[in-house]
Amino acid sequence: MTREDHPVPRGLTVLAAIRPGEQGPLRDVLRAIGNDIKGKSVSAEGGRPHIDFARSRTIHFARFAILRDPQRGPEATRLLFSSNYDGTLESHLAELIDITSDMDAIWGRCEDYQGVTAFPAFIRARAHEAEAFYMAFRHETVETIRHACALRGDVWDRTAEGSSGDKAGARLAARLRRAIERLVRAAPVLADLVRVVRRHGFATAVWAPNKIIASLNRYPAFRFANLLTGNRMPSRKSIYSSVVLDNCAPPQPYVDGDEIPTAFATAPTFREDVIVQNQLTLVTVVDPQQVHRVKAVMAAIDSYAKRLAPPGSLIGISTIHFVRWLLVDDDRRLVMLSDYDGSWENYIDEFAEMILSGLDAIWETSFGYPPDGARDLPAFKRFLRSHQVPAEVFFSAYPDQTILNVADNLRLARAMDTANEPLTTLLPTL
């Protein structure tokens, strides 16, 4: 089975130019679709365009947003579509066509759209590959997560059936198998490092991971590496915050070269915290002199996420379902797309607490980043809010499940498969 055929989660990010004059009508269509997802109106009422995400069996998360398109002019805009899905791209696009009542009402407002039959080619031509991609559960599909969640829900309806015998051997074999799988998964790390050295040079390949781990001394391996190399966070430039005092004014570019990705980031209707899970879309402008550095940082994050990160945790952060970073517009802009648990404030606070140096490594290459980076938390949050984009549509296949819930559910389902024991017998051990 090839990588393309293996049914594990993948990410799709599409940027399509919106035709002049169509931004307003498109936003109206998307907001109606978003309200349908949130249960605010009757779906497809009066023939209104609708995407029946509830029918999907492969989409974990999806979003639509409208961004400015500075490459085409100050008034130009583009449509962002992002999804995390199982299976092949061909099957994903076929499912999108199937669950969308009126493709032309959405994509027909984009330049060069030629109808439903040409939709796959249209998407492929505008899709962007991620520089770094983390997923909490790399080998779990929508169906396996939903099944595990449903299984957990059944536990209170089951009665104890007694022990089915000594299953210690089966459990030990399962743990050994998972340990071997982790070793196999981690093996290509050295090959990743060689690839970064070839692309960006030895100095940059060393700088990137050192920059990321400077604040991660809670991990013995990183603490030893930092001690050995003298790697540490730089001294703060000021004891005072650089955050602007007027937080009610619309965001403005901080410095020459900076951009505000949307005129709607601070609209009264924009909500950061919608449900148990939320989305974050960020667009920043990368200093052309720093592109090689941000690419090396992305390569280090991607390698760790794919090879070393345990299920459900990214450097101790257990609230991220999916997150990916992309360089677009000939490496001019950095896009971050995240699906996470909890409130925006808690999410950013956890990032700043757990991976402070990693935040600086990612965004200090962008125009407008605070002089003291994420240590100046008020200024850092202001920087993020100025560069984030509201989603007109946000969908989750399991909206009431946090990462911790999903992890518990999957452990329970796996234990049942391994030990073949009753739920009430297994639950206290998980």
Q: In this predicted structure, what is the pLDDT of residue 195? A: 85
| Most confident stretch, 40-54, 269-283, 296-310 | 296-310
Give the percent of the chain with pLDDT over 90.
65
Q: How confident is the model at residue 327 (pLDDT cuts 50, 70, 90)?
A: very high
Give the percent of the chain with pLDDT over 70.
83
Instruction: Return the number of other C-beta atoms located less than 10 Å from residue 145's C-beta.
Output: 23
Model confidence pLDDT, tens digit, residues 194-235: 888 888 888 998 899 999 999 999 999 999 999 999 999 999
Asked if 122 and 106 touch (Cβ cutoff 8 Å), the reply is no
Task: Write the burial class of residue 397 (CB in 10 Å: 0-12 exposed, 13-18 middle, 19+ buried).
Answer: buried
Q: Give the integer Cα–Cα distance in Å for 88 and 94.
A: 10
Asked if 332 and 258 touch (Cβ cutoff 8 Å), the reply is no
DSSP letter at 247 equals: -
Residue type, 155: V
Q: How confident is the model at residue 428 (pLDDT cuts 50, 70, 90)?
A: very low
DSSP letter at 85 equals: E
Of the candidates 271, 327, 340, the residue with the CA atom closest to the CA atom of residue 13? 327
Picking from 1-10, 89-98, 123-132, 379-388, which range would have the lowest pLDDT averaged per residue?
Answer: 1-10
Q: How confident is the model at residue 268 (pLDDT cuts 50, 70, 90)?
A: very low
Of the candidates 361, 356, 350, 352, the residue with the CA atom closest to the CA atom of residue 403? 350
Q: Give the residue ranges of DSSP H helices in 140-245.
A: 142-153, 168-186, 189-200, 202-213, 220-229
Strand duo 320-328 + 391-396: pairing: unpaired
Q: Give the integer Cα–Cα distance in Å for 113 and 123.
A: 9
Q: In this predicted structure, what is the pLDDT of residue 176? A: 72
Please state the rounded mean pLDDT for residues 389-407: 93
Adjacent-strand bridge partners of 134: 323
Scan for tokens 């099957």, then name that residue: 91
Q: Give the integer Cα–Cα distance in Å for 22 and 408.
A: 45
Q: Which domains does the chain have, with CATH numbers?
A: 10-127 (3.30.70), 184-392 (3.30.70.100)
Q: In this predicted structure, what is the pLDDT of residue 314? A: 93
Q: Give the integer Cα–Cα distance in Å for 228 and 291.
A: 28
Angle value at C-alpha 317, between 291 and 366, nearest 5 degrees: 20
Model confidence pLDDT, tens digit, residues 108-148: 999 999 999 999 999 999 999 999 999 999 989 999 999 88
Q: Which H or E run contains 348?
A: helix 344-354
Asked if 387 and 369 touch (Cβ cutoff 8 Å), the reply is no
Query: What tokens were used for 125?
Result: 């031509």
Model confidence pLDDT, tens digit, residues 66-104: 999 999 998 999 999 999 999 999 999 999 999 999 999
Q: In this predicted structure, what is the pLDDT of residue 120? A: 97
Q: In this predicted structure, what is the pLDDT of residue 126? A: 97
Q: What is the SS3 assignment for 346?
A: helix
